[in-house]
Structures are given as C-alpha cells and as structure tokens.
C-alpha cells in the first residue's frame, strides 16, 4: 500500500503532475502490477481509530509499557 497526499513526490504525485502538464502518462510493466493507494489523511485517521480501540481493550499502563518498550529498544 502506498500513501499519497499533499507534497507527494511518489507515483501518484508524478502521475497527477504529468496529467496537469498534458504530458504522456506512462504505465510500466504493461499494467500487470497492481498497487493500492491510500490518502495520507485516511491513513492517519485509521491509525488514530486503531489506537483508540487499543486503549479500550488494554489497560493504559500496559499499553504505555508496550509502546515505550517498542520505541526504546
């Protein structure tokens, strides 16, 4: 999955930029490969919802310990 959004320099940003300039739009590999794209704000919302759900399922002290352990090691 690839996230895209404002200031995107990835494939979606390049594609849109070329389209706005009336340049040729190139699809590599003959269109055989597939990729899912997700707008960056939707990705952030999904992460926030998942964290909110985790807080409901796990005691806050345990969640804090897990997060600290993950980022400190």
CA dihedral of residues 22, 27, 31, 33 (deg, nearest 10): -130
Report whether 38 contacts 2 (CB < 8 A): yes
Which is it for the CA torsion 38, 12, 1, 50, positive or negative?
Answer: negative
Q: How high is the pLDDT of residue 22?
A: 95
pTM to 2 decimals?
0.54
List pLDDT tens digits, range 39-54: 989 988 988 888 887 7
List pLDDT tens digits, range 10-33: 888 888 889 999 999 887 777 677
List pLDDT tens digits, range 54-67: 766 666 566 566 66
């Amino acid at each position: 999955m690839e996230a895209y959004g404002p200031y995107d320099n990835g494939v979606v940003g390049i594609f849109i930029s070329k389209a706005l300039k009336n340049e040729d739009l190139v699809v590599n590999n003959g269109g055989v490969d597939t990729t899912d794209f997700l707008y960056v704000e939707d990705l952030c919302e999904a992460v926030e919802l998942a964290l909110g759900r985790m807080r409901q399922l796990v005691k806050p002290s345990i969640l804090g310990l897990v997060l600290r352990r993950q980022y400190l090691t």
